C-alpha cells in the first residue's frame, strides 16, 4: 500500500468522490446531463442516453469550437500547445489564439481541396504540431479524421485507406527519430501505388518537417505550408449532430482484418473532458505531457482532446526518450515544468534500465500526477516510477481503458482513491465493471474472471466502420447483456481491479495491440508457408513478445524464417516483428483441426511438462517434436 502522503491539494476529496460515484449510480440520466454541460452545444441535448440511439442524440456541436473558440475569451494568450522539437533549442508555442488561427487556416485549405462534412481525411504524421492541427481542422469541417500510426507498413496503410474511403491524406516528407529519418512520404507513396483502384485519395498534403527532398506527384501532391499562408485565418465551424463520427481509429482484434473503431462527437468529447479532469486532477496552470503517438487512442483522447477541452496546456515532444542521451525525457520535464506525465509501462521499463543516477540529475519537482496506460505494470516498475521520478510526492494513476472505450474507465482519482501499486484500482464514477465466469454469470466479491461492463457510458465507440455486425459480434454478443472488453481481471477484497491481460488472441507488444490472426494472415500471403500460428509470451522489456510457428510447404527453402519475418513486417509493420520464428513440421491440433494455442504458448515459454491430457490431439506426438525443436541449441 502506498503510504506516502501527497503534499498537493487535489480537486476531489474522498467524500466528494464518493458522492459522485453514488449519484452516477443512483441518477445516471441526471448525472450525465450535468456532465454534458462541460461542452458548448449549438443545440443542447434534451436527453443524456437512449438505449436505441445512444448518447446526447439530439444535441449538436462542433469539436474544434469546444477545444478552441470557447476558450478565446479567457485564454487567448495562454499556451495551448508547446512543441519541443528534437533539437533542444527549438520550441514552438501555440497560444489558444494562434492554434485557433492555424486550425482555421488548415480547415480552409482542406475545404478548398473539396473536403466536406462526413468525408474521411487520413493523417499520417510524426510528432509535429500539424498532427493535432489537422485533427482539429477536420473536426471544424465535420470531416472524419483517420490517423494512421507512423509505424504502419505500406500494406497496412493501403488496407486502412481502402476501408475508410479517405479522400485526402496529410503526411510529412520525413519524420525524425534521433539522427534517423523515417520516410513518411515514401511509405505513403508505396501504399497509394499498391492498389490504386482500391482507394479514393485525390490529394496529398505534405508537411516539410526537414528540408529533405521527396518526390511530388503532379496534380496530387502539394506542400502544405504555402497553402496555409494563403488561406484565411477564420473558418466558420460546421455544426454536427452529437452522434456524427468524429474519427475512425484502426485497432486490432481477434479477426485478421483491422477494425475501424468509430467514435462519435458529443459522447466522446464529454468522456474525454470528464476523464481528463478527474483522473489527472486537471488544474489551472498544469502542463500535461502524454508521450503516446497520436496514431493511438491515448494520443487522441489525452494528447489532444481532453486537455484542450479543459483549457489546459499540452506538451508535445518530437523525439525519443534516449536521444541524444538517456535523460532526454527528464530534461523535457524539467525545462517545461511538466506537472502531469502520462506514459507507458514499456517506456518506464526501458528508462529504469538506464539507472537511477540519470533521473537524479534533473529537477522533476514540477510533477504532480504520474500516469500509465496500455499494459499491466509490474510492482517493480510502479515503485521505480513513483519513487525515482515522482519522488514519492505524486499521485499515481494506473489507467485501464481501450480504443473502444474512448477514455479511461478504471483508475485511481488523485486525492480520492488510495493507490495500491500495480492496481488500476476502482471504476470511475458511472463505470460498472463486472467479472463473469465462462458461462457469462457474474461473480461477486473477491474473485477473478472475464472483465465486462454493464450499461453504456458516453465514450463508448459507436460501431466499427463498414461492419456494424462485427461490432455486435465482438463486443455485445459474447456475454449477453454486457460489453465484453477482451481482458481478464481480478478483484480483491477492497473491490480493487487488477488487470491480468487479454483473454482473446490479441498480443500486447509494448502497449501496441496486434492480433494473432493479423500476423497469421500476413504469413498466409507467403506461398511457401502452409500454415502458421502467432502467440504472445512474456518479454522483459516489451511486456509481451511475439513467437511464430510456421509449417513449410514441400520444397520450401532453408531461409523460410527470413521470408516469414519479411511477410510480417511488410504486411503489418516493423512493430510486429517477432522475437522468434520456429519452422515446424505441424501444429498441435484438435481432431477438428483447430490449433491449440495454450500448448503453443507453453512450449514457446520453454516448458517441457505439465501439458495435461494430450489424447484429444489429432497427433499427440507433435508436442514432443515441437519441444525438441524449441529446446535445440541454436
Ligand atoms: C491493455 C489503450 C493493464 C488491455 C488505451 C486493453 C491495460 C488494451 C491497461 C487496450 C492497464 C490498457 N493495465 N492493461 N492500465 N490499459 N491495457 O486499445 O489489454 O491500444 O484491452 O488502448 O490494453 O489497448 P488500446
Residue pLDDT, tens place only, 129-158: 999 999 999 999 999 999 999 999 999 999
DSSP 3-state of 30: helix
- The stretch 184-202 carries a mean pLDDT of 97
- The stretch 184-210 carries a mean pLDDT of 97
User: Is residue 547 over pLDDT 90?
Assistant: yes
Please tell me if the CB atom of residue 510 comes closer than 6 angstroms to any atom of ligand 1.
Answer: no
pLDDT of residue 634: 66
Please tell me if the CB atom of residue 498 comes closer than 6 angstroms to any atom of ligand 1.
Answer: no
| CA dist., res. 254 & res. 502, Å (int) | 11
> Which ligand 1 atom is nearest residue 499's CA?
3
Query: Is residue 188 a contact partner of residue 169, using CB atoms and an 8 Å limit?
Result: yes
Residue to probe by mutation, ligand 1, list 258, 297, 306, 401, most atoms within 8 Å of CB: 401
- The stretch 509-532 carries a mean pLDDT of 94
Please name which of 263, 273, 278 lies closest in space to residue 309, comparing C-alpha atoms.
Answer: 273
Please tell me if the CB atom of residue 346 comes closer than 6 angstroms to any atom of ligand 1.
Answer: no
Query: Is residue 352 a contact partner of residue 377, using CB atoms and an 8 Å limit?
Result: no
Please name which of 202, 146, 543 lies closest in space to residue 381, comparing C-alpha atoms.
Answer: 543
- The stretch 490-518 carries a mean pLDDT of 95
Cell of 465: 466502420
Cell 500448448 locates to 599
User: Is residue 246 over pLDDT 50?
Assistant: yes
pLDDT of residue 5: 52
Cell of 573: 509493420
The region, left, alpha or beta by phi > 0 then psi within -120 to 50, assigned to residue 364 is alpha
pLDDT of residue 256: 77
Task: Give 204's strand partners.
Answer: 169, 221
Sign (positive/negative) of CA torsion 331, 285, 407, 434? Answer: positive
- The stretch 214-238 carries a mean pLDDT of 98
Q: How far is the CA of 351 from the centre of ligand 1 (A)?
A: 20
pLDDT digits (tens, 9 = 90+) for 448-487: 999 999 999 999 999 999 999 999 999 999 999 999 999 9
Please tell me if the CB atom of residue 303 comes closer than 6 angstroms to any atom of ligand 1.
Answer: no
Q: How far is the CA of 405 from the centre of ligand 1 (A)?
A: 10
Query: Is residue 7 a contact partner of residue 423, using CB atoms and an 8 Å limit?
Result: no
DSSP 3-state of 167: coil
pLDDT digits (tens, 9 = 90+) for 52-98: 999 999 999 999 999 999 999 999 999 999 999 999 999 999 999 99
Task: Give 172's strand partners.
Answer: 207
Residue nearest to atom 24 of ligand 1 (CA): 402
pLDDT digits (tens, 9 = 90+) for 247-289: 999 998 877 788 999 999 999 999 999 999 999 999 999 999 9
Please tell me if the CB atom of residue 398 comes closer than 6 angstroms to any atom of ligand 1.
Answer: yes
- The stretch 523-541 carries a mean pLDDT of 95
If one counts every other C-beta atom within 10 angstroms of the C-beta of residue 477, the result is 11
> Which ligand 1 atom is nearest residue 404's CA?
18
Please name which of 407, 400, 401 lies closest in space to residue 423, comparing C-alpha atoms.
Answer: 400
Query: Is residue 12 a contact partner of residue 369, using CB atoms and an 8 Å limit?
Result: no
Number of H helices, E strands in the chain: 21, 31
Please name which of 35, 473, 470, 481 lies closest in space to residue 268, comparing C-alpha atoms.
Answer: 35
DSSP 326-351: TTHHHHHHHHHT-SEEEE-HHHHHHH
Please tell me if the CB atom of residue 423 comes closer than 6 angstroms to any atom of ligand 1.
Answer: no
Task: Give 316's strand partners.
Answer: 83
pLDDT of residue 1: 44
The two most distant CA atoms of the chain are separated, in Å, by 74
Residue ranges of domains in the chain, CATH in brackets: 14-444+453-485 (3.40.50.12780), 508-631 (3.30.300.30)
Please name which of 390, 382, 345, 402 lies closest in space to residue 365, comparing C-alpha atoms.
Answer: 390
Using CA atoms of 384, 390, 394, 399 in order, give the dihedral in degrees to the nearest 10: -50
Are β-strands 91-95 and 79-84 bridged in parallel, bridged antiparallel, or unpaired? Answer: antiparallel
If one counts every other C-beta atom within 10 angstroms of the C-beta of residue 320, the result is 17
Cell 533539437 locates to 87
Q: Which helix (H) or strand (E) holds 64?
A: helix 63-67
* pLDDT level of residue 6 (50, 70, 90 thresholds): low
Residue nearest to atom 10 of ligand 1 (CA): 402
pLDDT of residue 2: 46
Please tell me if the CB atom of residue 424 comes closer than 6 angstroms to any atom of ligand 1.
Answer: yes
Q: Which helix (H) or strand (E) holds 515?
A: strand 512-515
Please tell me if the CB atom of residue 251 comes closer than 6 angstroms to any atom of ligand 1.
Answer: yes
Cell 473491490 locates to 495
Residue nearest to atom 25 of ligand 1 (CA): 402
Q: How far is the CA of 298 from the centre of ligand 1 (A)?
A: 10
Q: How far is the CA of 67 from the centre of ligand 1 (A)?
A: 26
Please tell me if the CB atom of residue 396 comes closer than 6 angstroms to any atom of ligand 1.
Answer: no
- The stretch 522-544 carries a mean pLDDT of 95
Residue nearest to atom 6 of ligand 1 (CA): 402
pLDDT digits (tens, 9 = 90+) for 37-57: 999 999 999 999 999 999 999
Residue nearest to atom 15 of ligand 1 (CA): 400
> Which ligand 1 atom is nearest residue 485's CA?
21
| Helix, strand, coil in percent for the chain, rounding step 5 | 35, 25, 40
| CA dist., res. 327 & res. 259, Å (int) | 37
| CA dist., res. 240 & res. 245, Å (int) | 9
pTM equals 0.96
Q: How far is the CA of 399 from the centre of ligand 1 (A)?
A: 8
Amino acid at each position: 500500500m502506498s503510504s506516502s502522503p501527497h503534499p498537493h491539494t487535489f480537486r476531489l476529496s474522498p467524500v466528494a468522490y464518493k458522492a459522485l460515484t453514488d449519484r452516477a449510480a443512483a441518477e445516471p440520466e441526471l448525472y450525465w446531463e450535468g456532465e454534458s454541460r462541460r461542452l458548448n452545444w449549438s443545440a443542447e441535448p434534451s436527453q443524456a442516453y437512449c438505449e436505441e440511439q445512444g448518447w446526447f442524440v439530439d444535441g449538436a456541436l462542433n469539436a474544434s469550437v469546444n477545444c478552441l473558440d470557447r476558450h478565446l475569451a479567457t485564454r487567448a494568450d495562454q499556451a495551448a500547445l508547446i512543441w519541443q522539437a528534437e533539437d533542444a533549442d527549438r520550441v514552438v508555442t501555440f497560444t489558444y489564439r494562434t492554434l485557433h488561427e492555424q486550425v482555421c487556416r488548415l480547415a480552409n485549405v482542406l475545404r478548398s481541396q473539396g473536403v466536406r462534412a462526413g468525408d474521411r481525411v487520413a493523417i499520417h504524421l510524426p510528432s509535429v504540431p500539424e498532427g493535432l492541427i489537422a485533427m482539429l481542422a477536420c473536426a471544424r469541417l465535420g470531416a472524419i479524421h483517420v490517423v494512421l500510426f507512423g509505424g504502419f507498413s505500406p500494406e497496412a496503410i493501403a488496407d486502412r485507406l481502402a476501408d475508410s474511403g479517405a479522400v485526402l491524406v496529410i503526411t510529412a516528407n520525413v519524420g525524425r527519430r534521433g539522427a534517423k529519418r523515417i520516410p513518411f512520404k515514401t511509405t505513403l507513396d508505396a501504399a497509394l501505388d499498391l492498389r490504386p483502384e482500391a482507394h479514393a485519395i485525390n490529394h496529398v498534403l505534405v508537411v516539410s518537417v526537414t528540408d529533405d527532398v521527396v518526390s511530388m506527384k503532379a496534380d496530387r501532391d502539394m506542400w502544405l505550408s504555402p497553402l496555409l499562408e494563403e488561406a484565411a485565418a477564420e473558418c466558420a465551424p460546421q455544426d454536427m449532430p452529437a452522434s456524427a463520427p468524429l474519427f475512425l481509429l484502426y485497432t486490432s482484434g481477434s479477426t485478421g482484418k483491422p477494425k475501424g473503431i468509430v467514435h462519435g462527437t458529443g459522447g466522446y468529447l464529454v468522456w474525454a473532458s470528464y476523464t481528463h479532469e478527474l483522473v489527472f486532477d486537471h488544474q489551472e496552470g498544469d502542463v500535461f505531457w502524454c508521450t503516446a503517438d497520436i496514431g493511438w487512442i491515448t494520443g487522441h483522447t489525452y494528447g489532444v482532446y481532453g486537455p484542450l477541452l479543459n483549457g489546459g496546456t499540452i506538451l508535445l515532444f518530437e523525439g525519443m526518450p534516449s536521444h541524444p542521451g538517456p535523460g532526454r525525457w527528464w530534461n523535457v520535464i524539467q525545462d517545461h515544468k511538466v506537472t502531469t506525465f502520462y506514459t507507458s509501462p514499456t517506456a518506464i521499463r526501458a528508462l529504469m534500465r538506464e539507472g537511477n543516477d540519470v533521473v537524479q540529475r534533473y529537477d522533476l519537482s514540477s510533477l504532480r500526477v504520474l500516469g500509465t496506460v496500455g499494459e499491466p505494470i509490474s510492482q517493480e516498475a510502479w515503485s521505480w516510477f513513483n519513487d525515482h521520478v515522482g519522488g514519492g510526492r505524486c499521485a499515481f494513476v494506473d489507467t485501464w481503458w481501450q480504443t473502444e472505450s474512448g477514455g479511461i474507465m478504471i483508475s485511481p482519482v488523485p486525492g480520492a482513491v488510495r493507490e495500491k501499486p500495480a492496481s488500476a484500482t476502482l471504476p470511475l464514477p458511472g463505470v460498472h465493471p463486472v467479472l463473469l465466469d465462462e458461462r457469462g454469470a457474474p461473480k461477486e466479491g473477491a474473485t477473478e474472471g472475464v472483465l465486462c461492463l454493464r450499461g453504456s457510458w458516453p465514450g463508448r465507440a459507436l460501431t466499427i466502420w463498414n461492419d456494424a455486425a462485427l461490432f455486435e459480434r465482438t463486443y455485445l454478443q459474447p456475454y449477453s447483456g454486457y460489453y465484453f472488453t477482451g481482458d481478464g481481471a481480478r478483484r480483491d477484497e477492497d473491490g480493487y481491479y487488477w488487470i491480468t491481460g487479454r483473454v482473446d488472441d490479441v498480443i500486447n507488444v509494448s502497449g501496441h495491440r496486434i492480433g494473432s490472426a493479423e500476423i497469421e494472415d500476413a504469413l498466409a500471403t507467403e506461398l511457401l508457408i502452409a500454415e502458421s500460428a502467432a502467440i504472445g509470451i512474456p518479454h522483459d522489456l516489451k511486456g509481451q513478445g511475439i513467437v511464430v510457428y510456421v509449417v513449410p510447404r514441400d520444397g520450401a527453402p532453408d531461409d523460410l524464417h527470413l521470408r516469414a519475418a519479411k511477410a510480417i513486417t511488410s504486411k503489418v509493420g516493423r512493430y510486429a516483428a517477432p522475437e522468434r520464428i520456429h519452422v515446424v513440421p505441424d501444429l498441435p491440433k484438435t481432431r477438428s483441426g483447430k490449433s491449440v494455442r495454450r500448448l503453443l504458448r507453453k512450449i514457446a515459454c520453454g516448458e517441457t511438462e505439465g501439458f495435461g491430457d494430450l489424447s484429444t490431439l489429432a497427433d499427440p506426438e507433435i508436442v514432443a517434436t515441437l519441444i525438441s525443436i524449441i529446446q535445440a541449441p541454436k
